[in-house]
C-alpha cells in the first residue's frame, strides 16, 4: 500500500523532523538510533510504515542499511555507540526490520536464535539494568519488550511453531491476571494501559490485543478474550477512537485524540480477521 493523499501532510510533518537530532535520518551525529522520541530514528521509520510508505522506498532502504550497520555477529544490535547493549534495543531493531520485510535475512535469523537462547526463565526478555531499584518484581521479564519480540517473531519461521514463544505468550497472559508492575522497567496494567493508544509505541491494551491475536496460544485463552472484550467496549460505531497519543504527535491527522482513526481501525480489523471473525 502507498501513502494515501489524506496522510501526505503527516508524512511531511515526520520528514520535517529528519534533522532535529543533529544528523540525517532522525539520528544524532554519533548515530544514536533511539534518541529524540517520538521522532527518533526507529520511531520515525515505524510512523512512515504505518502511514503506508512502501518498504522499498529509497529512504527506507537507507534506514534498513543504517539499522543493519549496528548489527553484531552474535545477533544483537548496538543502537548507541556508547554503553551496554540491552535486549530491548535488539528487539526493537529486529521488529522494525521485520516490518520492513527483512525477516528472512540471514542476520535476522541469527538475531532470532540469539533471542530464543536468551529468554528469561519466565519466558520473556529482560535486562540487568535496574533504574527503579531492585525488588521482587524486577526478577520478572519486561512485558513490553516481550510483546515487541513476539511481534517480530510473527514474521519468522518460528511463528506458531516454537514452544519457547508459547512460553512468552503465557507470560503476557499471566500479566493480564496479576496486572502488577513487572520487570526492571516496571511495566504494569493500570489506568494508562487501558486507554487506547495509537500509534503503537507503549505497552497498552490495543497493542497487547493486536500482537497476541496472531498467536494460536492466546486466541482462545480466557484472559486474551477478556482483554479483547475490553478493547471492543471502547469502540464507537465500530471504529477505534484514539484515547491517548503522545503530545508531539497530536498534530498528525491519522491519530487525533478523541477522534476515530481509520488506520487504527484497520489494525483492529486485523485482530478480528486473525480470530476468524468477519
pLDDT in tens, 154-200: 999 999 999 999 999 999 999 999 999 999 988 999 999 999 999 99
Closest by Cα among 57, 19, 95, 91 to 27: 19
| CA distance linking residue 211 with residue 155, whole number of Å | 12
In a domain, 72, yes or no: no
Instruction: Evaluate if pTM is beyond 0.85.
Output: yes
In a domain, 212, yes or no: yes
Helix axes 205-212, 262-274, angle to 10 degrees: 40
**Contact by Cβ (8 Å): 33, 79:** yes
Average pLDDT over residues 197-220: 97
Total domains, the chain: 1
Q: Is 116 exposed, middle or buried (0-12, 13-18, 19+ CB in 10 A)?
A: middle
For 245, residues 6+ apart whose C-beta sits below 8 A from its C-beta are: 197, 198, 199, 255, 256, 257
Element (H, E) at 115: helix 106-117
Query: What are the grid coordinates assigned to 136, written together?
Result: 521482587
Q: Which residues pair with 182 in a beta bridge?
A: 187
In a domain, 255, yes or no: yes
Residue range of the domain that includes 229 = 190-278
| CA distance linking residue 218 with residue 212, whole number of Å | 6
In a domain, 244, yes or no: yes
| CA distance linking residue 76 with residue 86, whole number of Å | 9
Closest by Cα among 190, 186, 189, 188 to 130: 186
Question: Which of 2-11, 215-224, 251-260 is least confident?
Answer: 2-11
| CA distance linking residue 97 with residue 196, whole number of Å | 25
For 273, residues 6+ apart whose C-beta sits below 8 A from its C-beta are: none
In a domain, 254, yes or no: yes
In a domain, 124, yes or no: no
**83/265: higher pLDDT:** 265
Task: Say what percent of the chain tops pLDDT 90.
Answer: 90
Q: pLDDT band at 278, cuts 50/70/90?
A: very low
**Contact by Cβ (8 Å): 95, 119:** no
What pLDDT, on a 0 to 100 scale, did the predictor assign at position 132?
62
Give the Cβ contact number of residue 234 at 10 Å. 15
In a domain, 216, yes or no: yes
Question: Which of 31-40, 67-76, 131-140 is least confident?
Answer: 131-140
**Contact by Cβ (8 Å): 142, 183:** yes
Whose grid coordinates read 521479564?
141
Four-residue CA torsion sign, 43, 31, 60, 70: negative
In a domain, 252, yes or no: yes
DSSP calls for 249-263: GTT-GGG-TTSB-HH
What pLDDT, on a 0 to 100 scale, did the predictor assign at position 52?
97
What pLDDT, on a 0 to 100 scale, did the predictor assign at position 131?
66
Amino acid at each position: 500500500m502507498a501513502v494515501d493523499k489524506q496522510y501526505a501532510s503527516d508524512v511531511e510533518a515526520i520528514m520535517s523532523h529528519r534533522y532535529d537530532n543533529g544528523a540525517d535520518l532522525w539520528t544524532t551525529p554519533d548515530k544514536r538510533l533511539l534518541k529524540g522520541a517520538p521522532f527518533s530514528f526507529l520511531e520515525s521509520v515505524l510512523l512512515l510504515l504505518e502511514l503506508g510508505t512502501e518498504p522499498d522506498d529509497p529512504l527506507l532502504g537507507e534506514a534498513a542499511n543504517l539499522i543493519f550497520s549496528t548489527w553484531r555477529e552474535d545477533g544483537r544490535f548496538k543502537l548507541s555507540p556508547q554503553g551496554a547493549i540491552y535486549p530491548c534495543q535488539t528487539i526493537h531493531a529486529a521488529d522494525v526490520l521485520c516490518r520492513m520485510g527483512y525477516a528472512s535475512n540471514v542476520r535476522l535469523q541469527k538475531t532470532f536464535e540469539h533471542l530464543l537462547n536468551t529468554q528469561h526463565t519466565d519466558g520473556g526478555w529482560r535486562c540487568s539494568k535496574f533504574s527503579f531499584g531492585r525488588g521482587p518484581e524486577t526478577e520478572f521479564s519486561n512485558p513490553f519488550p516481550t510483546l515487541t519480540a513476539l511481534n517480530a517473531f510473527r514474521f519468522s519461521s518460528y511463528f506458531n511453531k516454537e514452544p519457547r514463544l508459547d512460553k512468552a505468550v503465557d507470560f503476557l497472559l499471566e500479566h493480564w491476571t496479576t496486572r502488577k508492575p513487572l520487570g526492571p522497567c516496571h511495566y504494569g496494567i493500570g489506568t494508562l494501559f487501558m486507554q487506547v493508544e495509537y500509534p503503537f509505541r507503549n505497552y497498552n491494551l490495543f497493542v497487547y490485543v493486536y500482537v497476541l491475536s496472531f498467536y494460536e496460544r492466546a486466541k482462545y485463552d480466557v484472559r486474551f478474550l477478556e482483554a479483547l472484550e475490553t478493547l471492543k467496549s471502547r469502540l464507537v460505531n465500530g471504529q477505534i477512537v484514539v484515547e491517548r497519543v503522545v503530545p508531539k504527535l497530536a498534530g498528525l491527522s491519522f491519530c487525533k485524540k478523541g477522534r476515530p482513526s481509520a488506520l487504527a481501525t484497520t489494525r483492529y480489523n486485523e485482530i478480528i480477521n486473525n480470530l476468524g471473525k468477519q
